[in-house]
Amino acid sequence: NAGVMQNPRHLVRRRGQEARLRCSPMKGHSHVYWYRQLPEEGLKFMVYLQKENIIDESGMPKERFSAEFPKEGPSILRIQQVVRGDSAAYFCASSPQGSYEQYFGPGTRLTVT
Amino acid sequence: DAKTTQPPSMDCAEGRAANLPCNHSTISGNEYVYWYRQIHSQGPQYIIHGLKNNETNEMASLIITEDRKSSTLILPHATLRDTAVYYCIVRVAQGGSEKLVFGKGTKLTVNP
């Protein structure tokens, strides 16, 4: 059973470009979570999604950031017009229905130049 | 904000037990104690969780005090690969937010 997959593992964008981060949950998992980790800091929750629904987006910045988890395909975290402060590791986690254990992917390291 | 307090760093000799403390004095009756660890910027890894009874699995043991205001994660025979940041997290059992709230954790260094 493959774990949570994230791609790309490393992403470099210039200021003002768009970044798209993908997360494929574990097989059978219908819940996806996105977390951000700034350098030398702990993980911060961003958004929690179920298939086609955003359940909790209390950690998402108000502008430029969006997330989706379509009926088919991976979850996407989209950052528009990136700035240097967006440079961080972005982790995705998934869990099955009715479970509180979250399984994390290897992360995408975004660098904005 | 995280509801837990952990020492910022600890050292342990290889082969010895590592005991990582966590204070959660404001824990509610319906909140579990979870432990995750993050090895060198990899994705966090689930270790163990418990409500009020002590728990043990193949990775670690979790000892929760009777008043539930603190707990200790025990790695019985630490190895160099256990060097990581360990996070203690409290969260509701059901009906609450699904998110994990990470604090700064304890950076455990296992020395040869």
Q: What is the pLDDT of residues B48-65, one digit of tens each?
A: 999 998 999 999 999 999
Q: Do A42 and B97 touch (CB under 8 A)?
A: no
Q: Can you give the pLDDT at residue A39?
A: 85
Q: Do A91 and B44 touch (CB under 8 A)?
A: yes
Res. B12 pLDDT band, cuts 50 70 90: very high
All residues at 6 or more sequence positions from B69 whose CB lies less than 8 Å from its CB, including other chains: B23, B24, B25, B27
CB pairs under 8 A between A and B: 59
10-residue stretch averages of pLDDT, chain A, 113 residues long: 89 98 94 92 92 92 95 95 96 86 94 97
Q: Can you give the pLDDT at residue A12?
A: 98
Q: Does residue B96 surpass a pLDDT of 90?
A: no
User: Rounded to a whole number, what is the distance in Å from the CA of B104 to chain A's nearest CA?
Assistant: 5
Average pLDDT over chain B, rounded to an integer = 91
Q: Output B75 or B95, whichever has higher pLDDT.
A: B75
Residues 60-79 of B with CB under 8 A from A: none
CA angle B60, A41, A46 (to 5 degrees): 90
